[in-house]
Amino acid sequence: MSSTQPSKMNLPSVLLVLGVAAVAAPHGAVAAECQNQETGITLSPGFCATVFADNLGHVRQMTVSSDNVVYANTWSGRYYHNDTPPAGGFLLALKDTSGSGKADVVKRFGPDKAAGAAGGTGIALYNGALYAELNDKIVSYARAQGEIVPAGQPKTVLSGMPLTGDHPMHPFAIDAKGNLFVDLGSATNACQDDNRMPLSPGHNPCTELETRAGIWRYDANKAGQTFSAAARYATGIRNGEGFGFDKAGRLFVTQHGRDQLSQNWPKLYSVDQGVELPAEELLELKQGGDYGWPECYYDQSQKKLVLAPEYGGDGGKTVGVCADKEGPVAAFPGHWAPNDLLIYTGTQFPEPYRDGAFIAFHGSWNRAPRAQAGYNVVFQPMSDGKAAGDYVVFADGFAGAHKDPGRAAFRPSGLAMGPDGALYISDDVHGRIWRVTYRGDAATARVAAAPAPAAASGAAGAALPPEGTHADAGRATPDLPVPPDATKDQVALGDRIFHGEADNGTCSGCHGSDAKGTSVGPDLTNGIWVWGDGSLGAITKTVTDGVPRPRNYTGVMPPKGGAQLSDADVAAVSAYVWAIGHTK
């Protein structure tokens, strides 16, 4: 990242430019006065945040009207353990009428759960109307300038979008001409015969591509359209959640790279390759473009698309058909999960940030047995639609003490810009929205990383703690019951395997480091067993075989969690799971 780090300040010239008042508070000091601390996040130098609103439910994407109303969509369902959404509709209208940086008007609207609604992710404004994803539909509300909650009934613009499989969300964007581009994420990880199972080959051809893993185009001005294979605009995009237009009208989309290279293909990929590969991508969307999924993935270390193991790939050497697919504009570390994108077209932020891309990374689960990562907002400098230098972490600290999908305090999920150029960041754990403004000196502004948050300073790089860098390193093994026919040592070893500290166990990635469950794996501590009777024998069988057809989750558990565990390892980790399930 050296090219985008601030150069050592040349003090005399800085003094000259800043003048006396600014010298008393150069931009770093201004940022320090922002009290970002109470917001739970750190930001690049010169930027300040307020908590705009909080505890709103599972807030996904946002959009801001020209008269400064922030609209957000919220979601519910399986992905959030079917928890109870806040009472009222799934759409939110928020406004700060006093200029305090906090919304004093917070209204819910649209159909609620009792009316059969489950909410959604996508939301956008076009031609004075508000468009929102709702279940399998995109609906639109006419809206008058000054109106906070649209008074009229919604019109259905598009219906019949699939809600099954690994990626049931439908973010979208609308261009100035009314083209509505909607993301249909893939139903599977890599179009395998047996989703996410070891050595399972890819369907050839991958017929899933007819209705999934691409971008479809509809007309925002037309009511009553029905989703079909016919309107596909671009293909091979596994899940393109974040859309952003630049000033020239180019449309960019983020791409969630596939999972489980090493867990499904251990002879071809090392554990660390499975952790780091493939890249998350920023793509420029082109009509008819094929971005490679499922035959190809982007290897950021080789800077090219290579053939996936499900389609004859040999661990990243052969390119094959991938030579003809579209590569990314910029690439990011594996499994960070880019949930939203904003190309900064405002003027409040200083020059180096203009026209660049902000990307909200929801955070990983598939970096086990290594520490999870992401859970931040990145800034990627751009110029004329191309990457112009390396990215920096712009906002950090969202996860708090635990970078773990089940325990993260907050997970970035949406980005939007207000008419004044303020940046809004949303979270889908508690439903917090931050409002970020620039308070530093524009003349000396540089693209620079946010300081490491206090809770994660060890993991962020400088001085490594002696016990290692894993989020749970140094954790004491609690006093747990020991199952009949097992030993205390087995439970202790199982604890370390579960947390990726021994034998590359992956369990905590999906079940959470506290084993209380995440969006991709269930709670193992509540004494409720879906598979078997909770006996050590039944648990051992589940761990050995995995769960190819989960009852309550879309993503499967591969045998042994995808790790190369010995029989002794399986016995130990099963004893540990028995122990944590029998503490109540």
| Residue whose pair of structure tokens reads 């703690």 in the numeric block | 465
Task: Give the residue with the Cβ less far from ligand HEC, 38 or 545.
Answer: 545
Cα separation of 568 and 549, whole Å? 26
For the CB of residue 525, give the shortest distance to ligand HEC in the complex, in Å. Answer: 11
Cα separation of 325 and 297, whole Å? 10
Q: List the interface residues with ligand HEC, window 537-566 (CB under 6 A).
A: 539, 542-543, 547, 550-553, 555-557, 560-563
> Which of 86-94, 169-177, 276-284, 518-526 is the region at the interface with ligand HEC (rule: CB under 6 A)?
518-526
- Among residues 362, 336, 378, 511, the alpha carbon closest in space to that of 428 is found at 362
> Which of 151-159, 267-275, 404-412, 506-514 is the region at the interface with ligand HEC (rule: CB under 6 A)?
506-514
Q: From the list 507, 536, 575, 580, which residue makes contact with ligand HEC (rule: CB under 6 A)?
A: 507
Task: Give the residue with the Cβ less far from ligand HEC, 27 or 402.
Answer: 402
Between the CA atoms of 82, 88, 89 and 91, what dihedral angle is there, to the nearest 10 degrees?
-100
Q: Write the binding mask 563 to 582 for ligand HEC: x where contact by CB under 6 A, - elsewhere.
A: x---------x---x-----
Q: List the interface residues with ligand HEC, window 67-126 (CB under 6 A).
A: none
Task: Give the residue with the Cβ less far from ligand HEC, 341 or 570.
Answer: 570
What is the chain's Cα-based Rg?
24
Strand order through the sheet with 179-184: 172-174, 179-184, 214-219, 232-235
- Among residues 243, 263, 109, the alpha carbon closest in space to that of 190 is found at 263
Regarding 531 and contact with ligand HEC (CB under 6 A), the answer is yes
Task: Give the residue with the Cβ less far from ligand HEC, 197 or 382.
Answer: 197
Residue 497: C-alpha distances to residues 39, 262, 327, 513 (Å): 35, 17, 37, 11
For the CB of residue 265, give the shortest distance to ligand HEC in the complex, in Å. Answer: 15
Cα separation of 64 and 435, whole Å? 12
Q: From the list 85, 328, 352, 505, which residue makes contact with ligand HEC (rule: CB under 6 A)?
A: 505
> Which of 94-102, 198-206, 293-301, 526-534 is the region at the interface with ligand HEC (rule: CB under 6 A)?
526-534
**Contact (CB, 8 A) for 435 and 103:** no
**Contact (CB, 8 A) for 577 and 570:** no
Regarding 258 and contact with ligand HEC (CB under 6 A), the answer is no
For the CB of residue 505, give the shortest distance to ligand HEC in the complex, in Å. Answer: 5
- What phi and psi values does residue 310 have, to the nearest 5 degrees? -70, -15
Regarding 424 and contact with ligand HEC (CB under 6 A), the answer is no
Binding stretches for ligand HEC (CB under 6 A): 505-507, 509-511, 520-522, 524, 529-532, 539, 542-543, 547, 550-553, 555-557, 560-563, 573, 577
